[in-house]
Amino acid sequence: MSTTTTPNFTTRNDLDPTVRADVVAILNRQLAANADLYAQTKQAHWNVKGGNFMQLHELFDQIAEVIEPQTDELAERVAALGGYAEGTTRMIADASPLPEWPRDAVKGEDVLQALVERWAAYGAGLRTAIAQIAEHDDVASEDLLTGILGEVDKALYFLEAHLQG
């Protein structure tokens, strides 16, 4: 993803245009990761098998619903900064830093392990993005990502709790 190909729309937002372009690039990476995480969590929801199927099936659906609305929030923040939200399926697939879902993960513990890896990677990416945006003094974007991070950490805790013991 390149900010040179990203259209810049007119805005009266008083952040420096260079700052806005940098933040838009960071937010678009998070948009891709967020949408990919949602899709992979739904993939787990649809395909988990085993003795604890119903409990995991419902958990995966609940945590997917935590992250899904954030996709819209990220895209709208990009637009508010005069950027172009890159959110088609192909754009997301090209830009997401998350590993591809393992097709052979269907047993409950294997699916949990795959989700833990992806939610943890997403959380780490959020922390990096928050630090990068903090350098640009865009407190609104930083606040948005910080709020998402709190929800991600909680969902990761719920997933990891099933692997304990």
pTM, full prediction: 0.93
Asked whether the beta carbons of 156 and 119 are under 8 A apart, the reply is yes
- pLDDT one-digit tens code per residue, 4-47: 445 578 888 889 999 999 999 999 999 999 999 999 999 999 99
Cα–Cα distance for residue pair 36/124, rounded to 1 Å: 15
Q: Which domains, ranges and CATH numbers included, belong to the chain?
A: 17-161 (1.20.1260.10)
Q: Give the model's pLDDT for residue 6.
A: 54
Asked whether the beta carbons of 83 and 8 are under 8 A apart, the reply is yes
Q: Give the model's pLDDT for residue 7.
A: 58
- pLDDT one-digit tens code per residue, 90-147: 999 999 999 999 999 999 999 999 999 999 999 999 999 999 999 999 999 999 999 9
* Beta carbons within 10 angstroms of residue 89's beta carbon: 10
Asked whether the beta carbons of 130 and 146 are under 8 A apart, the reply is yes
